[in-house]
Every structure is written in C-alpha cells, then in structure tokens.
Amino acid sequence: MMRVLVLAGGPDREREVSLDSARGVADALRAAHFEVHFCTIERPGLDELRALPGDVIFPVLHGPWGEGGPLQDLLALDGRPFVGCGPDPARIAMDKLTTLARARAIGVPTLPSRPFVEGEPPLALPVVVKPVTDGSSVGVRVCRDRRDWQDAAREILVEQMVVAGRRYMVERFVSGQEITCAVLDGRALPLVRIRPAAGFYDYQAKYARDDTRYDVSPELGSGVTEAIRSHAEAICRDLGVRHLARVDFMLEGERSPWLLEVNTMPGFTSHSLFPMAASAVGLDMPRLCAHLIDLALRGAAIAGAPT
C-alpha cells in the first residue's frame, strides 16, 4: 500500500487553515485507500524531514515558509516525490508583485500596483494595501480615504518593527465580482464566483462565516469565462507551476478581469474553492487527492527516467 506523508501546520500565519486543510486531505486519502501518516510540523530540518515515514509527500501548508519556497527547498533535497510546486516557482508565485510583473509581461491584465512605502499613497485613493507574501486575505486593508490610509500605514509600520522584512503592497481598488480559477495539471477547471455577505472576501468570510455564497460555472459576459481560464493557464505556465493552483481575479464591470494572485497550495477545507471546482468535473475529494498523488509520482518518474 502506498504510504503518503501529509504535512500540516508550519510557522506561518495561516497555520490553523493548514491544519484544517491537511485533515481534509488526510481523510480523503484514507478514503482512497492510501496509508496516511499525518504529521504536524513547525520548521523542520532536513534530517527531521527524512526521518518521517512515507513514499510520497503531500505538504498542505499555506504561507511564505510552507508554500513559498523554503519547505520546497527541503522537499527537493529530501528526494521523495511531493505534491505541488518546486522551490523556484513556489517562491515567485508567493511574491504578488513579482507575479503581477510576470503577468503583465505575457499580456495577462493586472491592476496598477506599487510597493508600500511610508508617506503619501503611491496611487490615487481608493486602494487596497496587502502583504506581498501572505494569502487568505491576511492583513488586507481597504483604504477609501486619507484617514484609512494613515491608519493602515501606522499599523503596518508598527508591524514591520515587530516582524522585520515583512513587505506590503498597494493596489488600485476596484469593486466587482470576485472570481477564482482552479488549475489542475495545467488545465483550468470551472470558475467559481464568490459572493461574500459583508461585501469583502476577508479571512473571516473565507474560513469562519457560513453566509458567503459561491456560484460554480457562473454566467459571465461573452468571452469572459474563456479569457479568465486562458489567463490562469498562461500565468501558471509562465511561472512553472505544477500539479495545482488557484488563480484569483477581480472582474470589474462585465468584461475586465484583473489578475490578483496565484496560490500554489490552495485550501482543502470545507469552505475551499479548489475542491469545489474539482467536484464540478466529477472529482470528489478522495479522487482529487489521489489524482494529485498520481501527478507527483508520474512527475518524479519522468524526472528520474534515463535520457
């Protein structure tokens, strides 16, 4: 029986979401008849990782350490097949500003964005201020006027004194429909439209509240669905993303989709959008997680084949 090591936790701010996601993955893999070894980690070294049992690794961590390169460096050195991006694509995708620059270079539309610096807002208000290397709407602030901006700037500067190196960015604010596109093995799955009851899809709306509504395969303007799917596949291809990703967009008006970010280890909680999109094409959680294990094994076999 194939042994799967499911990794959960990590040191990032999305640790609790990781634990919830990893439990969902572990349950699904057991239902698919894998032998599952569930391990909650902090920030292990290579020897500690190598001592954990498993033939293939499913790292269900969210955030800059667990999703953004450092863990992937360890996994690559460990040598076992693993689900998700290799180190370099993971690092690039975790950095929103770098991702947006890459997207613009290949013709994927993005909103104006700048690094956050103390002083006057670098873009006309209203703007969104958010961390460069965090997901799940952690730390996102909407600044509609100068008072909002001053409050956000004060909070960020205090935070940066506590956590050295934490970077923020500023992006033009637009209201519209929030659309996400799951990408499985390079191909876009059905879109999901998010309808938060409170008007903003923040951390609570994603994981704590039950009044957020989701529309799978929503009816959008002519050509918009195809454009979003094409953009999602293109940016994943350009970044070198493998196996899975969730690509988020804001649809302004009826015809203007703007790329927001690329998530290389989407959530697998009861509220998560990647499993929701997969279910629409007949992949329930056990089938989806088994397919991801198969992708990891096939990729490792190809990489190890003689040339």
Walk along the chain (307 residues) and give the pLDDT tens digit of each residue: 899 999 999 999 999 999 999 999 999 999 999 999 999 999 999 999 999 999 999 999 999 999 999 999 999 999 999 999 999 999 999 999 999 999 999 999 999 999 999 899 999 999 999 999 986 567 899 999 999 999 999 999 998 887 778 899 999 999 999 999 999 999 999 999 999 876 655 555 555 556 789 999 999 988 999 999 999 999 999 999 999 999 999 999 988 999 999 999 999 998 899 999 999 999 999 999 999 999 999 987 777 655 4
Q: Number of helices and strands (H, E) in the chain?
A: 10, 12
Asked if the bond preceding 126 is cis, omega within 30° of 0, the reply is: yes
The Cα 134–Cα 66 span in angstroms is 11
Residue 246 and residue 265 in contact, taking contact as beta carbons nearer than 8 Å: no
Q: According to the model, what pLDDT value does residue 161 have?
A: 82
CA separation for the pair 278, 290 (Å, rounded): 12
pLDDT attached to residue 202: 55
Q: What integer pLDDT is reported at residue 307 of this predicted model?
A: 45
Q: What span, in angstroms and rounded, lies between the C-alpha atoms of 104 and 201? A: 25
3-state secondary structure 22-77: HHHHHHHHHHCCCEEEEEEECCCCHHHHHCCCCCEEEECCCCCCCCCCHHHHHHHH
Residue 163's Cβ-count burial label (10 Å; 0-12, 13-18, 19+) is exposed
Q: Rounded distance, CA 88 to CA 54, Å?
A: 24
Give CA 107 to chain center in angstroms: 21
What lies within 8 Å, CB to CB, of 219 at 6+ separation is none
How much is the pTM?
Answer: 0.93
Sheet holding 187-195, edge to edge: 213-216, 187-195, 177-184, 244-252, 256-263
Q: Are 241 and 185 in contact (CB under 8 A)?
A: no
Residues 6+ apart with CB under 8 A from 204: none
Alpha-carbon gap, residue 243 to 294, rounded angstroms = 10
Domains defined for the chain, CATH in brackets: 3-84+286-304 (3.40.50.20), 93-110+176-282 (3.30.470.20), 113-172 (3.30.1490.20)
Q: What does the DSSP 8-state code read for residue 104?
A: H
How many angstroms separate the CA atoms of 217 and 149, rounded? Answer: 36
